[in-house]
Chain A
Amino acid sequence: MTATRDDWELPISEEQLARLTRDMEAAHRDTLPAMRASAVDLTDDIRSRRAAPADGPRDPGRRRFLLGAGGVAAGLALAACSSNNKKTPASSGKAASTTPSASASASAAGTYTGDLKVVALAVALENQAVGAYQATLAAAKAGKLGKVPPAVATFVTTAMAQHTDHAKAWNAVLTGAGKPAITNVPLSNQPATLAALGKAATVGDVAQLALQLEDQAAQTYLFATYNVTSPAGIATAASIAPVEAMHAAILNFVLGQYPVPADFLPTDKAASPTLLTV
């Protein structure tokens, strides 16, 4: 049996849809305890590193000491190291193409340093995605995007919920380390993102923008896996990158593009920590 809503016939039954949604929610909830544990590990990592005497012996098990000792080195590495292609992350990405100001870089270096700078960048990117999807829902509700396909509506609400979970997890790390949580979007490319959202007139427009944000997020997490120092941070970034990539795959499919465009996830669209304005 299929359900009819207005003039459009839902091609699967409400029962099937409800079952699929329940399964998805259950799977989603199953992952949260592990994520919370990982966030606690990451906070402990950062606390223990800060508590250690600056000139004292370091835990040899923390093999990433070169970046950890530097404090800002992770940020520098993120900014300077993009394999061998000599590109700064986000230097060519449309969604992150705004050149950061010197003052923004300086203030970012002051509040969040080392791994916490990468965590702050992650929160900001997640908040940016959540905000973009919220704006999409508002525009759809106001009828500004025309008729929104049901698949796009469920995509937006589900992806937004997952980005919210990512932001919560990263913010728990920040507050656990004694830093303020980030509840807004302190990125220098945010005005350009908002402007692009404001101009969006169709579902395709917002889907294209969402794809840029998802690509940016996935690639930033990939970059983080080999530039943060904390094992828990590495594991957390590794567990989120595939999810953002999956969002991108479905968006590509909806947009009529091949869903798995690259053999290896690249980093040319990764966001640079220099985008941070806090």
Chain B
Amino acid sequence: MGGERIDTRLLEELTEQSQDLNSDAVRITAEALGDFTEVTREQSSRRWWQRGGVVAGAAGSAAVLTSLRAVAATSSDDVKALQTAASIENLAISVYQTAAGLPFIKDGNKTVAAFIAKTTTQHQAHAQAFNAAAAQAGGKAQSGPDPKYAAVVKKALPSIKTPADVVALAITLEDVAAQTYTKNVGQVSSTELRKLFASVAPVEAQHRATLLAVQALLAGNLGDLIAIPTNAAKLPAAAGSVGFPDAFYPTKSASPITEGAVK
């Protein structure tokens, strides 16, 4: 993990580009959440035949149709799924923040430290989005961690001595998040919530892919290749494929929607 080879100017540029992309994505998500709020409000003020009238009046407007599909669908299960998702995000934020303060992370590979910092902010954005959607659906925001995996983290913390240990724990959490949200896409009852979960699951999967590649490089004593830009010519063959082990993202380890729900 002794790699110090990093182009800080390039990293700053990449960070700036990433922030621009982030701003766009946050705006899109905010709009989606706005739609969700709007249709949830409509639900309480319109009967189904009145909603049909709106559909007829807006014939051809797919946006309206898809929004209305969400109306009758918001349920307590949706709120539970959102709260559980927020609990997973809260735990991930906590773990990454703790990891960022560890000496071998803080004073170690700069790219790993930058990845942890960026990933923390991404999980914070996810937690905010899930909690905002839960609140808009009439539920409470979840500020606590997922209890099942909080216990896993608590058990693992004393044995964390190296960057590889941190990476292994982070892979577990990212995989649980990705599997849970992938499954949630088919469980929630509104278009807007499907969109929300389906837009977050791939990001957690990307975190996992990156961490799997980092893990392989650490295992091969190739920490100096954990850099942006890296030296692609020197990457081992495994680094090209270890990041995506499944052709279809699994859901067998997905957390049930009640796991992190507010009691």
Residues of chain A having any CB pair with chain B under 8 Å: 10-12, 16-17, 20-21, 23-24, 27-28, 30-32, 34-35, 38, 63-64, 66-67, 73, 76-77, 79-81, 83-85, 147, 149-159, 161-162, 165-166, 169, 203, 218, 222, 225-227, 231, 234-250, 253-268
Consensus secondary structure, chain B interface: helix
Cross-chain pairs A/B with CB under 8 angstroms, 27 sampled: A10-B237, A12-B220, A31-B248, A31-B249, A66-B68, A149-B235, A150-B235, A161-B247, A165-B247, A231-B186, A234-B185, A235-B186, A238-B185, A241-B202, A242-B206, A242-B249, A243-B247, A246-B206, A247-B244, A256-B230, A256-B232, A257-B228, A258-B14, A260-B122, A263-B125, A265-B199, A268-B24
A263 touches B210 (CB 8 A): no
Given A154-B238, A263-B25, A243:B246 Cβ within 8 A: yes
Pick the interface stretch among B27-35, B131-139, B141-149. B27-35
How far is it, in angstroms, between the C-alpha of A245 and the C-alpha of B200 when the chains are bound?
Answer: 11
How far is it, in angstroms, between the C-alpha of A11 and the C-alpha of B69 when the chains are bound?
Answer: 54
CB contacts under 8 Å to A, within B123-161, are 125-126, 129
A225 touches B185 (CB 8 A): yes
Q: What chain A residues lie within 8 Å of B24 (beta carbons)?
A: 262, 266, 268
Cβ distance B146 to chain A, nearest Cβ, rounded Å: 19
B185 touches A81 (CB 8 A): no
**What does the 1/0 interface line of B12-40 toward A look like (CB < 8 Å)?**
00110110011011101101101100000
Interface: B234 (CB within 8 A): yes
Q: What chain A residues lie within 8 Å of B66 (beta carbons)?
A: 66-67, 77, 81, 226-227
B236 touches A264 (CB 8 A): no
Interface: B57 (CB within 8 A): no
Given A17-B238, A263-B125, A162:B244 Cβ within 8 A: yes
CB contacts under 8 Å to A, within B172-217, are 178, 182-183, 185-186, 189, 191-192, 194-195, 197-210, 213, 216
How far is it, in angstroms, between the C-alpha of A165 and the C-alpha of B244 when the chains are bound?
Answer: 14
B236 touches A151 (CB 8 A): yes
How far is it, in angstroms, between the C-alpha of A211 and the C-alpha of B222 when the chains are bound?
Answer: 25
B237 touches A159 (CB 8 A): no
Q: What chain A residues lie within 8 Å of B53 (beta carbons)?
A: none
B244 touches A17 (CB 8 A): no
Given A225-B198, A226-B191, A262-B25, A20:B235 Cβ within 8 A: no
Q: What chain A residues lie within 8 Å of B25 (beta carbons)?
A: 262-266
Given A81-B66, A149-B235, A253-B213, A240:B248 Cβ within 8 A: yes
CB closest residue in chain B, given A148: B233
CB closest residue in chain B, given A218: B202
How far is it, in angstroms, between the C-alpha of A169 and the C-alpha of B248 when the chains are bound?
Answer: 10
Given A11-B220, A264-B125, A257:B247 Cβ within 8 A: no
